[in-house]
């Protein structure tokens, strides 16, 4: 990996996120899975990142819309969420500690991703301490 040391502001840390949820409404839907990669401003990875499947109640999974039911069922995510040992609180803490390891200065790492606006909305609702650690801008 290109960057073996924690990243400071001048190195332009970017925290890449991808989440899967039970739907797109953060008022009723829940996070099911999160993956994080961290790069410097030159897009060089600091390591292999991390990924967690979050334990979900059967009722939350039964209330998914048709797209989520089909997609998460076919991918195996629904079964993985029922079997996962990782609670949302555990995952939130692990993600925050991972980010702090590589981006030790609060409000320095910029959140990025493909559907980052939606992912950030869910993180704000379910893992606010993670969003609070990051810069307010996102890519």
pLDDT digits (tens, 9 = 90+) for 52-110: 999 999 999 999 999 999 999 999 999 999 999 999 999 999 999 999 999 999 999 99
| Domain segments of the chain as ranges | 9-133
Q: The tokens of 84 are what?
A: 């996962």
CATH of domain 9-133: 3.30.420.10
Residue 90 is among the residues annotated as catalytic for this protein? no
User: From the candidates 86, 90, 98, 136, which is the catalytic residue?
Assistant: 136
pTM of the model: 0.93
Burial 95-127 (b: 16+ CB within 10 A, else e): bbebbeebbeeeebbbbbbeebeebbbbbeebb
pLDDT band at 5 (very low <50, low <70, confident <90, very high): confident
CA angle 85, 91, 129 (to 5 degrees): 155
């Amino acid at each position: 990996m290109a960057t073996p040391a924690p990243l400071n502001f001048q190195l332009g840390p970017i925290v890449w996120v991808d989440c899967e949820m039970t739907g797109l409404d953060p008022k009723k839907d829940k996070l099911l899975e999160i993956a994080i990669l961290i790069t410097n401003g030159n897009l060089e990875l600091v390591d292999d990142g991390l990924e967690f499947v979050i334990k979900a109640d059967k009722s939350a999974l039964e209330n998914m819309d048709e797209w989520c039911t089909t997609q998460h069922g076919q991918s195996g995510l629904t079964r993985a969420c029922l079997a996962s040992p990782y609670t949302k609180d555990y995952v939130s803490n692990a993600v925050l500690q991972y980010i702090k390891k590589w981006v030790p200065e609060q409000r320095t790492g910029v959140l990025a991703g493909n559907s980052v606006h939606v992912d950030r909305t869910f993180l704000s609702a379910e893992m606010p301490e993670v969003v609070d650690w990051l810069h307010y801008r996102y890519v």
